[in-house]
Chains A and B, each alone.
Chain A
Amino acid sequence: MSTPDVRLVDVTKRFDDVVAVDDLSLDVESGSFFALLGPSGCGKTTTLRMIGGFEQPSEGCIFLGEREVSGLPAYKRDVNTVFQSYALFPHLSVFENVAFGLRRRSVRGETLRGRVEAMLKIVGLAGMGRRKPRQLSGGQQQRVALARALVNKPQVLLLDEPLGALDLKLRKQMQLELKAIQHDVGITFIHVTHDQEEAMTMADRIAVMNDGRIEQLGTPTELYETPATAYVAGFLGVSNLIHGTVSGSDSVRLDRGPEVRVSAAALNGRTGHVAVGIRPEKIELGNGQPNALEGKIVEQAYVGVATQYIVETDCGRLTVYRQNASPGLNGASPGDRTTLSWSPDSSFVVDSMEESE
């Protein structure tokens, strides 16, 4: 593996007596699309602002490539930012907004024009250079903000909730576009978001943050299939957590239910009290799989691609998705008794949070 583009070593940031970022270490691989994911107040934006140079860490070091940048102001770092709600210069044309960074670096004349126009073309704004930002739609402003940062060919591009102000449809479209652009330009992107779906759609690797710390770091698949903690399991998608006690190298006895099998890898040597997690789409209505629970359907909601069931069991209410592969509803309806079953390989195990509650 090459040297990481961004390295944070034991970084802590305090605001008065509030610890925003708590002893955080992180490597972001060169050329990757990296997401910092978490709820507001988890320290993700502070982390981004420290990489950008808008905040200085209270402790620890930040490296861009080989170079230590902690202490350097923003304008001396080879990093550019796409700000939340864009922060476009209202008094400058689209062209001058994009040219701003290049002009500060003394790029002039034809070279300047060529680079700005090429970048406007990449983001789909060719010919719009003379407009003012306020004459553009939200999506177009977003593209200007992106072009303004990317045109400088920074070592790292920081994106602070860049799609938050767009409507859902445009957001989905921009997610795919951003990923395509990142692939084309090959620059390392660090993306801050509270939207788990957005992070999973775009990022190669995601760090889930909580309370100023990284709760888990991995690919979207790893985080979703094998969350390390109940927090991560709850933050990424819907998960059913059932409490129990480890009863063997690959089995857990549920507190209010039967013994179920889990993979030894998922159990990972845990003993004592744990929680078994199963994603809603991995549970079958029926007894086709080794692990089974009896229950009664209490709610049913048709959501297009799938039907969502809430099933009351002895171990609590579980959410189940059933794909609508054939037309119409699936037959099961509220009040029906049913058996839920799942494969041991489809479940994961996390430490039980009950002790800390």
Chain B
Amino acid sequence: MSFLHRHRNLTPYLLLAPGLLYLGIFFVVPLGFLLHQSLQSGNFDVGYAFTWAWGNYWDAIRGYRGHFIRSFEYAAIATVLALLFSYPLAYWIAFRGGRWKNLLLLFIVAPFFVTYLIRTLAWETILADQGPVVRVLRDIGILGQDGRLLATSFAVVAGITYNFLPFMALPIYVSLEQMDGRLIEAAQDLYASKWKAFVRVTLPLSLPGVVAGTLLTFIPAAGDFINAQLLGSPRNHMIGNVIQSKFLELTDYPAAAAMSFVLMAVILLMVALYARAVGTEKLTG
């Protein structure tokens, strides 16, 4: 007690300490290992040696450029789709939900009660060639007689959109929910129609939620491999699939580690550009 009194300015750091320690041990240290590994050469049988093998990075970029681009494409499309579905949903719950609000929020979170893998497997069944969706789409002529949904980029993007929707909807809901409803009345009082009031007041004030939601969706989606694996064909594989197979199947650890770093670097760059474009104050509200 007296120690803390004398060193009052230490208190915030002491409070931060457990979190920092955790991050240090379970994030920074493994990241260091990974970085070390990415510069090794050799193979599983003869062993790996640290050789400043920068070539691993070059190979990752040159050999898998298509996978990287596809990852960001899928992640971007899924993020935009999730935003388009989530915003009206969050808006409706926040402003029209009334006493059902909490129940409706529970419905959004409900899929989390089932593990990610099982949920995605469920989609495999839904989109299967013998499944009801394909049959109906074939009957009404949207799909050809041998058209399919499974093993297409559509299925992968749909899966990602579905799996990350709550991460988009919840932050948007929070930013809308905490908005003072009188601001909309004030806008209408100042001659703004409902639509104008939305564009000029509601939308800008919900941007912190939109920004948080897009980041929470885009970042994990870009590194995802489950959806591509279960719902796509090898033509739809993303960089996550490559990293996963290099690590677990081909045991080419240095190449996998280098790819992970390239992925991380590109995502960081994109997030930085995005934050700059929308303004950092939107991130903190």
> Interface residues, chain A, CB within 8 Å of chain B?
52-54, 73-76, 79-81, 83, 85, 87-91, 100-101, 104-105, 148-149, 152
Contacts and interface: CB of A to CB of B under 8 A. Distances in A.
A75 B189 contact: yes
18 contacts: A52-B189, A53-B188, A54-B185, A54-B189, A74-B188, A75-B188, A75-B189, A75-B193, A75-B196, A76-B191, A81-B185, A89-B201, A91-B204, A91-B205, A100-B190, A100-B200, A104-B191, A152-B191
Pick the 10 closest A-B CB pairs, nearest first: A101-B190, A104-B191, A87-B182, A87-B186, A74-B188, A75-B188, A81-B189, A100-B190, A91-B204, A75-B191
Interface string B166-206: 00000000000000101101111111110011001100110
Range, interface on chain B = 10 to 19
Contacts of B196: 75, 104
For chain A, what secondary structure do more than half of its interface residues adopt (helix, strand, loop), or is it mixed?
A: mixed
B186 A81 contact: yes
Interface in B200-231: 200-201, 204-205
Interface of B: 180, 182-183, 185-193, 196-197, 200-201, 204-205
A192 to B, nearest CB: 15
A348 B189 CA distance: 43
A89 B191 contact: no
Nearest to B204: A91
Contacts of B185: 54, 74, 81, 83, 87
Given A91-B204, A91-B205, A80 B182 contact: no
Contacts of A100: 187, 190, 192, 200
A76 B196 CA distance: 13
A149 B185 CA distance: 13
B191 A101 contact: yes
Contacts of A87: 180, 182-183, 185-186
A152 B196 CA distance: 17
Contacts of A53: 188-189
Contacts of A101: 190-191
A88 B204 CA distance: 14
B190 A148 contact: yes
Nearest to B201: A89
